[in-house]
Structure 1
């Protein structure tokens, strides 16, 4: 291990891998491992009841994850915001415990984390974020709204020929992948490959064919984006303005600040991050938002009658059942105490955004969906220096997709009982919350 003392406090109980232990004598305030199974089917369908129990018992828990892994879970709103602002909780893979490397959950050479904002700490994060923000401005994202509306209309036109469709496959998945590919300047003919790669990168299995597909996808997407970067550089038009560039790849190539620029590895890692994270969050925002409205017909009727409520409604949908359940792992580089609980150095920490957004100490009657309430302080896209850079684009896509669906299909309804909907199950570090499918009747 590169980090002194981390081996004694790493936590892994996976068969076939070295066991690591928590030093309870050194950290007497450690809690027992919470017996609640946070990764079974029942929890995936509705985690909020269990999160409420956890918040009531303690703000910080040691929990068992898939494959016997253990992590620390932060559940209450104030502690979540504190953890997201805590510099001793590192995002750098260099501070990840060895068991995550053993499992392939953290690897730099295959491009899963690469060198990007999400997997870095200041000062590297500060520099990368500042450079990428130049090409990801609010004005640039807002300028995409007409094109997003056009793509949405075309996809809904295709769906309207049927009585019953899967909203995930028909709109929620293809809309953001089309938008992000156009934003990157990916040719139309190559977008199907991106759909295959992103599915593999968020696959539920870390063994067998799932793991092999994951590794192939990492290699394929790295090669594709490397070739795309080289092509854009060779055919770039001379310009000093990022806003003049025809696509995000070209804009990032010339993103310069005080003679600094993204290295090739940083550019590659940033594009991979934007592709996967920027796509998956919007899929889940649309799917989760629509199923919430379908299960609350009075809220859907209100939004249909008063479409000016849409921006605020999207914020409430993000709070109520957002696209990201937990943050990507953080690694304690020192002992950290939150609300009286000590998290030892070397531990893996997961911050439960979904739990924080349902915290009754922050939001009155949090389990009720109310599109008229003000929820702009939700943490659906994180908080602090790692707040999602693509949040504005996701909100625009959500507004356009949900608003258009309600306008075009006022009688839209679920085509199966709500309890039969299946929620995607991921790996030990899976962070997303979304549906596998969303069958609906259009009329």
Structure 2
């Protein structure tokens, strides 16, 4: 296998290669390979296919489901050096990018043309487009603009045997053949390795308006989300945080958020009618809220969004975090948060809740005492996580909304999908990767 000089390194020199932000204690890969050209990815996979060597595709290592951690004896394929924006077409409102492009960098490049890349995951400043595609990442703007899959038009994919295919097209519409773009998006590197993407850009909103609404408790805040859903206005951002999370932010930042209420809902509207739409939404929740603050300029809006952006860092300052990811029907958000509170009390663990209320996506964060990275998860915390997954399914929801299945939730994926659909997905996997070398042990 001929690769360009200095393109790979022994894993022992890459201490971060064994794990990701999930903290899952992965194995030590035999090699970490960092290609700088698509042909090198093809060469690597062709050789791996011939020798039946497992390959773990990886972006920035910012994943939260152990979907791209090291596997003993495998090659870890680090795609971060394929990081070019190849073309930004302002007339067609699309960009052609390599997988290692940082999400925020693409959005910034689009901004120079009055456009934006709408997906906005919490890791926007560090995650890569390839990783976002692998997990079908969501984010704060998902309430209005959807998830990554809604913005991918075409993909260049290296298959398990090293062959390169292009699926999709550079037009907004097109229905020829099966929708392989959607199949690869969210497949967590188990069907092929994405080496290029054509993504949709949209006009950057002319105006935005933001509100921070406080409530006496998170159950009332969840009812406010239902009122917003029924209002006839679709906000761009609709986030929810519980009182314990607000207190953690106060401790970290010296703010006084929790004094205003025991739960916070952050709302943002955009477009030419942003102010009018926000007025409709704040009126819909006025009888439920203890305090509402609004802003229409960028600086003041950023200040109101500050709490949501600082939620996870505040919890990471408290100890070791287990970041869970469920979604339920929006009308059942109150039941979900009440159920999570009961689980925390019964298991004797600290659970903080925030998330993307606009699409029913909650992140129950279990915080335990800080220890070594490879320390096992305390039994009570593991039990709480299992019960949270069960609660999500009981409420008609899903065990993962945007972080992926990875290695953390494989057994729960089987429960959610059922044996027939799970077997169908395995047949798809075998059709694309008959030797099972692509990210083995993840997702299925």
Q: How would you bin the TM-score normalised by the shorter chain?
A: under 0.3
TM-score between the two structures when normalised by the length of structure 1 = 0.27
The structure showing larger relative contact order (alpha-carbon pairs under 8 Å, at least 6 residues apart) is 1
TM-score between the two structures when normalised by the length of structure 2 = 0.27
Greater share of helix: 1
Greater share of strand: 2
